[in-house]
């Protein structure tokens, strides 16, 4: 396990205001959050609350309007290297086969060497053996997202950023890919920020869940999830699990995202 | 993969049968109604003209083809770099692109006589006419192709590398290829039109010239023969682009087949 390679991420009073022709949009009001190396942190909040913005800022792909972000103790000023990205859409290149898609970060990054063994192992772990030379369009949605997951992990990233990676999948496939995700993550722990709008999903994989308010967003609460791993097949954690679920639901009801107040608007 | 099912055979045989039937009907009607040759020659007369004037048609076809190839090469050499520039520099996108879109609306054929005034009767005005007609579809399609890139893909690329060249070569260009080829296919058809118009206005060679000449001499059978050669030329060039597309983008052919057959998986 290469946990020592894992980087910490720190948001220090970070805010983001988008400026467009139609005016200013306050996406993130103020977020302070400290993520330790090797931690899995879920970020949950209503849509449009700037969750994705937080990820892009952490990767150094867009600039924060206020505050500072540190990755591995260094202030983020340009794109952070060795970051794995998974988005809601798989973003596989349709002109590349599965294997070539996996190798894209290697070919583009140039300086890294990846052994065939590692590729084969990844492919095998997510059940894609035999599909190496297929084009993405030949795969089902779940398989496509699995390839996207492997692509993000191929270079052994120090930081994994996932923006609703299961959002586009149907309920059953979602469970399956979630299982693969946990398996892959346990095999090689790295610092992970996981954006979602699904309460169950946020709890299931996380060490901590960051609950965000509506735009302009703030951190409402950080919930520590104290459940044994692996969680997908663990029996007997249902009651504990439900406790966290209700807790987070209550936060959203309190701030008016869920419940009677939300309906009244 | 395509299978030779009864239905597929029918789809090939049926259009051919219709065309053959129409030609026979044409032959019969022209003879029965005694239509004068200079108004509408019968198919067998056109065929005879094709054979009779074959040397003449061939040498003029070569000339026209040459103008098309040179003009089209210039189109490709100008359009694609220009599309890349417009993609990368937003200042060009805001200035040049709208101008090009408006210019596209000008009836370019009307400029042909001006080219004669400026550039005389040599190859240059024809080549320029080919370029002028084929340029816009290619450049506009290429720009649309480059611009349609998924921005999250670019985010991903930037988190992997600083190399804009590799991002272009591995992501932006292949992404735009289907649009570029759509542009190439439209452009080649316009290139043929451009060459004919160029030869109409002032030439002593080429199929466009031969068409006018046949018209003046009331050799309507030769005129039809010219039309056929010209059409075959256009179809041949179009097929060459399609062939090139298959070689350059094998995955795209595959995708089309998937969508046609209902598709095993969706994108």
Given CB atoms, is B262 within the 8 Å cutoff of chain A?
no
Of A60, A94, A139, the CB nearest to B251: A94
- Triad A212, A216, A222: Cα angle to 5°: 20
- Counting every residue, how long is chain B? 267
A181-219: pLDDT as tens digits:
888 888 877 899 999 988 988 998 899 999 999 888 889
Six token digits for residue A26:
């306050």
Q: d(Cα B203, Cα B116) in Å, to the nearest integer?
A: 10
Using CA coordinates, name the residue in chain A closest to B164: A108
The strand pairing partners of A194, in sequence order, are A42, A162
Do B208 and B234 meet the contact criterion of CB atoms below 8 Å apart? no
List beta partners, residue A17. A26
A177 close to A143: Cβ distance less than 8 angstroms = no
C-beta separation of A237 from A216 below 8 A = no
Angstroms from B238 CA to nearest CA on chain A: 23
DSSP state of A112: -
The mean-pLDDT minimum among A219-223, B3-7, B48-52, B189-193 falls in: B3-7
- Helix axes of B123-147 and B112-119: crossing angle, nearest 10 degrees: 130
Model confidence over A140-152: pLDDT tens digits?
888 999 999 999 9
Model pLDDT, residue B265: 44
Q: Please choose, from the candidates B203, B180, B195, B200, the residue with its C-alpha nearest in 3D space to the C-alpha of residue B233.
A: B195
What is the pLDDT of chain A when averaged over all its residues? 87
CA distances from A85 to A142, A195, A245, B116, B119 (A): 17, 12, 27, 58, 57
Contact A139 B265 (CB under 8 A): yes
* A58: DSSP letter: H
Residue B103 has what pLDDT?
84
How much of chain B, in percent, has pLDDT values that exceed 90?
72
Q: Residue B267's pLDDT is what?
A: 37
The architecture CATH gives domain A3-77+191-264: 3-Layer(aba) Sandwich (3.40)
Q: Looking at beta carbons, which residues of chain B come within 8 Å of A107?
A: 166, 170
**What does each C-alpha distance from B222 to B48, B53, B212 come to in angstroms?**
9, 8, 10
Q: SS3 for A127?
A: coil
Kindly list the residues from chain B whose CB atom is less than 8 angstroms away from the CB atom of residue A95.
174, 177, 249, 251-252
What pLDDT is stored for residue A265 in this prediction? 47
Q: Which of residues 83-102 of A touch B (CB under 8 A)?
A: 83, 85, 87, 89, 91, 93-95
Q: Which among A218-227, B63-72, B244-253 has the top mean pLDDT?
A: B63-72
Best CA proximity match to A223, nearest among A57, A91, A42, A65: A42
What's the whole-model pTM score? Answer: 0.85
pLDDT tens digits, one per residue of A249-259 = 999 988 877 87
Question: A107 CB near a chain B CB, below 8 Å?
Answer: yes
- Determine if the peptide bond prior to A109 is cis (ω within 30°): no
What mean pLDDT do residues B54-76 have?
A: 96
In the predicted model, what is the mean pLDDT of residues A31-45? 93
Note whether B43 contacts A: Cβ–Cβ < 8 A: no
Asked if A59 and B155 come within 8 Å (Cβ–Cβ), the reply is yes
What are the domain boundaries of chain A? 3-77+191-264
Of B152, B153, B264, which has the smallest distance from its Cβ to A138's Cβ? B264
The pair of structure tokens assigned to B78 is: 């100008």
How far is B56 from B39, CA to CA, in rounded Å? 22
Interface A–B counts its CB contacts (< 8 A) at: 70
Question: Is the predicted pLDDT of residue A2 greater than 80, yes or no?
Answer: no
Contact A59, A122 (CB under 8 A): no
The C-alpha of A77 sits at a distance from chain B's nearest C-alpha, in angstroms, of 12
Q: What is the pLDDT of residue B124?
A: 93
Q: For position A1, what pLDDT does the model report?
A: 41
- Which chain A positions have a beta carbon within 8 Å of B178's beta carbon? none
Q: How far is it, in rounded angstroms, from Cα A126 to Cα B243?
A: 37
What value does the mean pLDDT take over residues B13-26?
A: 94
Residue the block writes with tokens 């302070």: A32
Under DSSP, the state recorded for A257 is S
| Whole-number pLDDT of residue A34 | 94
What is the spatial distance between Cα A207 and Cα A230, in angstroms, rounded to a whole number? 12
Does the beta-carbon distance from A80 to B251 stay under 8 Å? no
Weakest-pLDDT range from A35-44, A89-98, A231-240: A231-240
Tokens 């469970």 — which residue? A175
Are residues A89 and B171, on separate chains, in Cβ contact within 8 Å?
Answer: no
CB contact under 8 A, A108 and B170: yes
Sign of the alpha-carbon dihedral angle for A164, A170, A171, A175: negative
Residue range A61-79: mean pLDDT, rounded: 93
Whether B263 has a pLDDT exceeding 70, the answer reads: no
Element (H, E) at A185: helix A171-187
Element of type H or E holding A244: helix A238-254
Chain A residues whose CB is inside 8 A of the B173 CB are: none
Minimum-distance CB partner of B150 among A80, A91, A105: A91
Q: Looking at residue A8, what DSSP letter applies?
A: P
CB B31 within 8 A of CB B37: no
- Residue B119, classed as helix, strand or coil, is helix
pLDDT score at B266: 41
Note whether B159 contacts A79, CB cutoff 8 Å.
yes
pLDDT on residue B172 = 96
pLDDT per position as a tens digit, B88-140: 998 998 998 888 888 888 888 888 889 888 998 889 999 999 999 999 999 99
Give CA–CA dist B104/B84, Å, rounded: 19
* B chain contacts of residue A139, beta-carbon cutoff 8 Å: 265
pLDDT > 90 fraction of chain A, expressed in percent and rounded: 46
Q: For residues B112 and B180, which has the higher predicted lDDT (pLDDT)?
A: B180
Judged by CB atoms closer than 8 Å, whether chains meet at B160 and A136 is answered as: no
| For residue A171, pLDDT beyond 70 | yes
Which of B254, B195, B202 is CA-nearest to residue B230? B195
CA distance between the termini of chain B: 19
Q: What is the DSSP letter of B27?
A: H
Nearest CA in chain B to A110: B161
The pLDDT value given to residue B2 = 53
Q: Which of A95, A108, A139 sits opposite B251 (nearest CB)?
A: A95
pLDDT of A165 higher than 50: yes
Q: Is the peptide bond before A216 cis (omega within 30 degrees of 0)?
A: yes
Reported ipTM: 0.88
Task: Look at B167 and A108 and tell me if their CB atoms are within 8 Å.
Answer: yes
Specify the pLDDT at position A233: 62
Judged by a CB distance cut-off of 8 A, whether residue B171 touches chain A is yes
Asked if A89 and B150 come within 8 Å (Cβ–Cβ), the reply is: yes
Say whether A44 sits in a helix, a strand or coil.
strand
Q: ∠B12-B57-B127 over CA atoms, to 5°?
A: 95
């Amino acid at each position: 396990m290469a946990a020592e390679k894992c980087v910490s991420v720190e948001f220090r009073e970070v805010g983001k205001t988008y400026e467009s022709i139609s005016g200013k949009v306050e996406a993130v009001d103020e977020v302070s959050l400290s993520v330790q190396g090797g931690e899995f942190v879920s970020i949950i909040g209503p849509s449009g609350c700037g969750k994705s913005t937080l990820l892009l800022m952490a990767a150094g792909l867009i600039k924060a309007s206020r505050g500072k972000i540190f990755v591995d103790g260094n202030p983020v000023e340009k794109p952070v290297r060795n970051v794995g990205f998974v988005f809601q859409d798989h973003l596989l290149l349709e002109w590349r086969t599965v294997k070539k898609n996996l190798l894209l970060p290697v070919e583009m990054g140039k300086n890294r060497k990846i052994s065939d063994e590692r590729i084969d192992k990844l492919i095998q772990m997510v059940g894609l053996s035999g599909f190496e030379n297929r084009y993405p369009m030949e795969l089902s949605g779940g398989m496509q997202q699995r390839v996207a997951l492997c692509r993000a992990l191929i270079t052994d990233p120090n930081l994994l950023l996932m923006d609703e990676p299961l959002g586009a999948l149907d309920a059953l496939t979602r469970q399956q890919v979630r299982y693969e995700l946990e398996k892959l993550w346990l095999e090689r722990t790295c610092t992970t920020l996981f954006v979602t709008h699904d309460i169950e999903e946020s709890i299931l994989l996380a060490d901590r869940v960051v609950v965000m308010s509506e735009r302009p967003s703030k951190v409402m609460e950080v919930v520590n999830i104290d459940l044994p791993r692996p969680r997908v097949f663990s029996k007997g954690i249902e009651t504990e699990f439900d406790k966290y679920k209700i807790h987070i639901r209550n936060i959203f009801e309190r701030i008016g995202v869920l419940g009677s107040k939300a309906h009244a608007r | 993969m395509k299978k030779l099912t009864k239905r597929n055979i029918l789809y090939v045989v049926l259009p051919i049968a219709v065309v053959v039937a129409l030609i026979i009907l044409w032959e019969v009607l022209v003879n029965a109604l005694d239509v004068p040759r200079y108004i509408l020659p019968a198919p067998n007369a056109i065929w005879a003209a094709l054979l009779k004037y074959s040397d003449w048609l061939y040498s003029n076809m070569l000339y026209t083809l040459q103008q098309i190839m040179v003009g089209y090469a210039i189109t490709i050499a100008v359009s694609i770099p220009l599309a890349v520039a417009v993609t990368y520099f937003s200042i060009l996108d805001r200035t040049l692109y709208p101008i090009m879109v408006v210019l596209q609306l000008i009836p370019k054929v009307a400029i042909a006589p001006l080219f004669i005034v400026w550039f005389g009767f040599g190859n240059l005005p024809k080549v320029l006419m080919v370029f002028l007609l084929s340029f816009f579809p290619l450049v506009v399609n290429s720009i649309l192709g480059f611009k349609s890139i998924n921005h999250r893909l670019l985010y991903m690329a930037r988190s992997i590398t600083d190399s804009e060249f590799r991002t272009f070569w591995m992501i932006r260009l292949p992404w735009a290829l289907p649009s570029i080829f759509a542009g190439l296919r439209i452009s080649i058809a316009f290139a043929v039109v451009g060459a004919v118009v160029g030869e109409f206005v002032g030439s002593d060679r080429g199929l466009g010239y031969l068409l006018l000449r046949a018209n003046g001499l009331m050799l309507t059978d030769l005129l039809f023969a010219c039309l056929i050669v010209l059409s075959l030329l256009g179809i041949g060039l179009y097929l060459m682009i399609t062939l090139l597309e298959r070689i350059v983008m094998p995955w795209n052919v595959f995708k089309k087949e998937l969508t046609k057959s209902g598709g095993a998986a969706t994108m």
